[in-house]
Structure 1
Amino acid sequence: MSPDAGVCVRAAGWLASVQRPDGSWGYRSDGEGYVEPTALAALAFCRTLDDRGLRDGTARAANWLLTNQHPDGSWSTTPATDPQSWATGYAVLALAKLAIALKSQEFVNAARQGFGALLATPTLYVPEIEIAVSRATMGVDARIAGWAWRPNDASWVFPTSIAIIAACSLGATDHPRVRQGVAYLLDRACSSGGWNIGSPLNFGEPVDPNPIDTSVALLALQAAGTEGMLAAKPAVDVLAELASRSATPLSLAWSALALRALGHSADDTLARLARQQSPAGDWRGNVVTASLVILASQPAPVGL
């Protein structure tokens, strides 16, 4: 069951009202433009292109992403910061999806160039002597690289998951770097099921999963195919339990999207989100939350 259609109508109307003149969105209604909220809002609008006003907003967001792509194919989190950030994955994903909806070869080309930048992003080198220590204290195989928040840094669950979803949106499911990313996620899973930022253990003690990282990891494994999903299947039930104990709209929105995309009921989660929506259509002024609720509320949600 999807929520009342009015929830999505109000959310889309609020998003349209806070889109910046340059086509971007900030994390908040009055913030500067960032890649993550712009990509997610554009993806949400992309599901409702029968509305002419939303189609225009989608095209303006896509053009903002094109304008702010760096020569090496990457994106910054916001235009004022350094290139080759984790936000490249979001831009690739959005442009790959929007290229289909808006029938734009230019968007396809930009997304492919961005994927090349993702492949070229260097990760942290781990000396051999530290590998055994990482296994004992954090419960991870430090030889397996995912993606980092910025170049030459440690890999983490969230940017790795977004990069995998982006790659799969371009049909690169079997690329060796993508398969390595899947291996990274499976290695970083918590012993109880689910994921946190990327540390199953802390000095040998188990660390609990959280709903946002669990949601995005499951969406990535779903996009990458059955190999990862077979191993991660128990995490779906873990996510349902985490969602039942979550209070923040952002956690609930991510959880609803992942649960419905993976065929699990999210009725209670969506109902709670509906009750938390303001009369204006937002959730605490958060653009990402509003976008995720729209994506999670589609009749047949497929994730990002």
Structure 2
Amino acid sequence: MASSSLKMISEALLMRRVLPSGGFSVKTEGLFQVDSTAWSILALAACGGAPNQLDQSRRLLMNEQLPDGRLCVDRIHPASYWPTPLVVLAWQDSEPCREAQQRAVRFLLETTGFHFPRTSDVPSAHDTLIKGWPWVGDTHSWVEPTAIGIMALKTTGHGHHDRAKEAVRMVLDRQLPHGGWNYGNTHVFGRELHPMPESTGAALTGLTGLVERDAVRESLTYLQHKVTSLRTPISLGWSLLGLAAWNQSPANAAALVERCLANQERYGEYETSALCLLVLGALASEMGRQVPLISASMYQGRPAALTQ
């Protein structure tokens, strides 16, 4: 599938989910969701279209921001702040959203998961003191939210902040001995766990530009072998993004994406976040590091002063 055709199809699919407010629903004719809107902004930006829609959607997300900078799945559940780094990415290069983006970055720099010293009765093997970010407040840090947090800090020029450096150490500590990542455990009760392609792809996307290839070589090998068997949008989307971030896109990426899109005829339409991940992965395979999620996260420029 040529990138021009993919962009047209992707934009058409996503625009079916846009709401009068400018937000995006989780599925066609569904309700507004912060993460669906952030992912849609990233995908539409990668497609190069709908600038007015992008501006409206970005401004809408500003209304969802809480005073301390966080953005939540639902404002009545402030602990559910895992969409914050996604929105930081969605606000990139938007001058009207700059101050809001800076507040969100400050929140990320000042927030972490629940961490604790290891004791002899802890069944897992990873270093529980290295800080990343959690899915939900006051819970342990895990791979995917930490990887996206790293992307957000790199995007805004904070990739070398001590907070980002510690998050990189956390992700590397959670890498499985034989390559790949899962949600964030390496061994439990002395047994090495299995890797998961979506976690591996997210980790590789976050780490690009911050670690040497040798540090992730076995994980790249795992994902290269795994990607051709993937048929679901989240696993395939993250895998294609992770491989593209290291210039390792599979030659048959377009065919893999077409097969995955066709599965909707049997199983129903994908949720917006999953569809956007697939679109971004497909475009990354064709365009390399030019897609926003990768190109922006490679940025290592001077960080802007953060809003108090």
| Equivalent pair of 2:233/2:277 in contact (CA under 8 Å) | no
Q: Which one of 287, 290, 296 corresponds to residue 275 of structure 2? A: 290
Same amino acid, percent of matched pairs: 26
Q: CA offsets per residue over residues 274-303 of structure 1, 9 Å max, x none?
A: 133259999723212332233231542326
- The one-character-per-residue Cα deviations of 1:76-116 (angstroms, maximum 9, x if unpaired) are 023443256111111111112x42xxxx1x31221111011
Q: Aligned partners of 2:74, 2:288: CA distance in 1, in Å?
A: 28
289-298 or 256-265: bigger deviation: 289-298
Deviations along 1:241-272, whole A, 9 cap, x unmatched?
A: 22223221221122112212221132324312
- CA offsets per residue over residues 16-74 of structure 1, 9 Å max, x none? 1211221222332233222222112101111233x4xx112211210111111111111
Q: Which runs of 4+ in 1 moved over 6 A?
A: 279-283
Shift in alpha-carbon separation, 1:212–1:283, aligned structure 2, 3 A: farther
Q: Separation in 2 of the partners of 1:240 and 1:74?
A: 35
Check 1:239–1:280 CA distance in 2 against 1; reply closer, same or farther (3 A cut).
closer
Residues 1:147 and 2:130 are matched in the alignment: no
Question: Comparing 205-214 with 143-152, which one deviates more in the overlay?
Answer: 143-152
Count of aligned pairs: 288
1:59 — aligned with what?
55
Matched, 1:242 2:226: yes
Is 1:226 paired with 2:211? yes
Tell me if the contact between 2:175 and 2:181 (Cα under 8 Å) persists in the aligned partners: yes
- In structure 1, the residue matched to 2:110 is 120
Between the aligned partners of 1:13 and 1:301, the Cα distance in structure 2 is: 23
Conserved in 1, the CA contact under 8 Å of 2:231 and 2:259?
no
CA pair 177-72 structure 1, distance change in 2 beyond 3 A: same
Matched residue of 2:160: which SS?
Answer: coil
The answer for unaligned runs of 5 or more in structure 1 is none
Which residue is equivalent to 1:190? 176
Q: 2:194 aligns with which of 208, 211, 214?
A: 208
Runs of at least 5 residues in structure 2 that lack an aligned partner in the other structure: 294-308
The TM-score normalised by the length of structure 1 is 0.86
Question: Which 10-residue stretch deviates more, 10-19 or 207-216?
Answer: 10-19
Q: CA 1:287–1:217 in 2, change beyond 3 Å: closer, same or farther?
A: same
What is the distance in 1 between the residues matched to 2:75 and 2:31? Answer: 10
Give CA deviations for 1:197-235 in whole Å, capped at 9, x if unaligned: 000112110101101100000001015x235x4311221
For residues 123-149 of structure 1, the C-alpha deviation after alignment (integer angstroms, 9 at most, x for no partner) is: 2141x4x34544xx3221111111111
Q: Any idea what SS the aligned residue of 2:176 has?
A: coil
Residues 131 and 143 of structure 1 are in contact (CA less than 8 Å); yes or no, is this contact kept in structure 2?
no
